[in-house]
Structure 1
Amino acid sequence: MNDRISKLFSCCLNNRVVIIDTNFKGFHATLKKMEPTCNSDRWYIEKFKEGPEFSQIINGKEYYFQRLV
Structure 2
Amino acid sequence: MIRDLKSLYVAIVDNEVVVFETNLKLFIEELGKIESEIRNYDYYYRQFKKSSKQSLVNSNSKKYYLQKIL
TM-score of the alignment, normalized to the shorter chain, above 0.5: yes
User: 1:58 is matched with which residue?
Assistant: 58
**1:40 aligned onto 2:50:** no
Distance of 1:61 and 1:46 partners within structure 2? 23
Q: Flag as ranges the 4+ runs of structure 1 deviating above 3 A.
A: none
Alpha-carbon distance in 1 for matches of 2:37, 2:54: 18
Equivalenced residues, count: 69
Aligned Cα root-mean-square deviation (Å): 0.9
The unaligned stretches of length 5 or more in structure 2 are none
- The two structures have a TM-score, normalised by structure 1, of 0.91
Which stretches in structure 1 are left out of the alignment for 5+ residues? Answer: none
Residue by residue over 1:32-69, the C-alpha shift from the partner in whole angstroms, topping out at 9 and shown as x without a partner, is 11112211111111110111112121232100011011
**So what's the TM-score if we normalise by structure 2?**
0.90
